[in-house]
Structure 1
């Protein structure tokens, strides 16, 4: 199956896997992810117009911090980075598992609305240059083009450890693979489930993700913590390296699903 111009094959999987294919509509232009990752926010080189908001990464981090009542900027930055990583992995892995191809998801083709949630946060200008989806292509499309500059930006600006951020990226990948597996098996698509599982396992062995955790079937146990437990009233995530929030002597709280 080849990719269609609207990526309609992703729609049955639900909003988190959907990618709108269209240029952003008024009231104004959205920032691209190339702009978001720029070493100096507000400068992207490739953009002619100044996107709104001018600093999309900090806008999203502040929005997450407010929603979670996060006590530290780095907690919100970690959660925000993992959320964007999950969106990128979900789209790319779903295209690969369903169609065997992945579109060009270059950062300057993807517009991002830091105020919106899935599926209204990301828009691809057009589907072009679809490539056969193997591990190396997916690594190029997501890890090299997006998650490496995103990790660098979040580490530089908010002081979040790079090992933690790569753990977030691995957790996001494993979560996307797990949800694809569940959907595929519910619909009798064992071939799709097997492709998703094989690609997920192979990507977790990539040098940037190797050692971030252990994948057993579709279950993933990471070796780092995303810091979510620092949010007031929060417990630990389902794949966290901790059984309970550090420093807590109480019984473990129900983990956040991931």
Structure 2
């Protein structure tokens, strides 16, 4: 029995509402657990088939511009994976591969025609036609001054300049052979020079040089320089002959050059 004024019954009677308040709290947790179920149901979204993922990736990138194919056909190729920055090579599909158009040959105009050395050769003699109305400015330079100088030299030389040339080169060759006493290593050069000078004498004997008046006059000047032992003057004249167009005289001209070199070694 409860005593009047005792709070035991009251305190025990107040615990029932406290237990009833906990039930709604437990009921509130059930909807929270139910809310987690839809979140777990989203896992199958990650396991979707590959074609579904590719369709989403294709929506992220704009399609590449159409590529011109053979004829009027066109085909688009969208980006695939990491190769989206580079357009893929379209298949030929039985058509021949596209080729870049070749550059057309552009004809250039020149005021001066291309030089052809055989175009101006007539009868074994080269000529260059003059332009009408231009006072012959395109004519080849005339070598009248050198020809006149050569004739003057040969006129001063007398009736037989060949004798002067042969005597001068013979004396110079005899002097060059004496170098073998001091320089025996020059024997091959001396023998080659002697053979080339003999070739000069043969051409003089057969009158192969006399008809070439300029060559004949320059050869006479070399002979005069050898007589006076002016080797520098003789060497300068020989170098001038080597730079001229004397194709038939190259053998003995080279011999004359070596002869002067041997004489300069003697001093």
Q: Same fold (TM over 0.5)?
A: no
TM-score tier after normalising by the smaller chain length:
under 0.3
Per the normalisation by structure 1, the TM-score is: 0.22
Q: Which has the higher helix share?
A: 2
Structure having the higher strand fraction is 1
Q: Which has the larger radius of gyration?
A: 2
Higher relative contact order (CA 8 A, sep 6+): 1
TM-score (norm 2): 0.21
